[in-house]
Amino acid sequence: MHEMMLRILTEEAGKGNKPSSTFRAGSFALVAKEITAQFGVECHPSYVDNRMRTLRTMWSTIQTLRKKSGFGWDDNLKMITCDAKTYQEEVMAHRKHAKYLNKKIDFYDELAIVVGKDTAAGGFSKSYVDLENEPDNGDSAEFVADNVEEGVVEKGKNAVESSTTGSGISKSRKRGRAPSNADDSVLTNLFDQLKEIAVALKEINRGPVDYTALYNEIMAMMADGYSEDMLATAFDHLCENEKTARGFLAKNARLRKLWLDGFLFSQI
């Protein structure tokens, strides 16, 4: 998924769809469509946008290390170089930096185009411009899943407002028109769904999280094709984030899968 995302966005930049430091919305939609088709998972443009935040942070770290005293750069291997003593000191202070040191940085040229400021009219640019550091708060997967769920509620809310407004316009144009039974049925069903969501969210916030139940619900998703290792990682994450765990338990099966796909994509 990571490789496909970078490849497609590099091509999109070459087509002029990255006029500044950001891509056009259609580029993210294309990535989401291709990942969904290729890997059989439900991917949304918002997942791609969230993944971009992580890539920007990676890019900023790489450029900071390149400039740091004691580090060199091998342009042929796309590798940040340093001696053993410098390596040890850096890793002791920043353990996560080890993956960038004395190792080839995969897809460096693509990263330079995708999250750098180059627009790359053709071929890979060998220059780079430091990107402003945009920190990742670590909640990207949860943010996406929550936005999806909130989008369902907002869509319903707008539908009610639209129906009400439309009814008012209709009455002003055609006086005496009574709402049909079909209209009443749709509105009633919509309000019932919103009520169920509100009740579920209220109930899930009461008392401590039942982690045994959470584990069982997570592992039950093996039936949907997820591996035990993937689900165990998701369970550990939920155990560390009580609010997210409550939200997961409140979701229906479809929204749980949506959240899990977003979380797993963010871990790549």
Which percentage of the chain shows pLDDT scores above 90? 26
Query: 63-109 pLDDT, tens per residue?
Result: 999 999 999 999 999 999 999 999 999 999 999 999 999 999 988 99
Q: Which residue has the higher pLDDT, 183 or 95?
A: 95
Integer-rounded Cα radius of gyration of the chain: 24
User: Confidence class of residue 258 from pLDDT cuts 50, 70 and 90?
Assistant: confident
From residue 203, how far is each of 199, 206, 207, 208, 216 by CA, in Å? 6, 6, 9, 11, 19
What average pLDDT does this structure show over 196-204? 56
Q: Which residues contact 80 (CB under 8 A, 6 or more apart)?
A: 62, 65, 66, 71, 72, 73, 100, 101, 102, 105
What pLDDT does residue 42 have?
A: 85
pLDDT for residue 9 is more than 90: yes
Query: 120-163 pLDDT, tens per residue?
Result: 444 433 333 333 333 444 433 333 343 343 343 334 444 434 44
What pLDDT does residue 116 have?
A: 77
What pLDDT does residue 229 have?
A: 85
CA distance 197 to 193: 6
CA distance 87 to 102: 9
3-state secondary structure of 1: coil
**Of the candidates 173, 181, 197, the residue with the CA atom closest to the CA atom of residue 251:** 197
From residue 217, how far is each of 9, 225, 262 by CA, in Å? 36, 14, 17
What pLDDT does residue 226 have?
A: 86
SS (H, E, C) 120-142: CCCCCCCCCCCCCCCCCCCCHHH
Phi and psi at 103, nearest 5°, equal -135, 145
Lowest mean pLDDT among 40-54, 67-81, 106-120: 106-120
Average pLDDT, the chain: 74
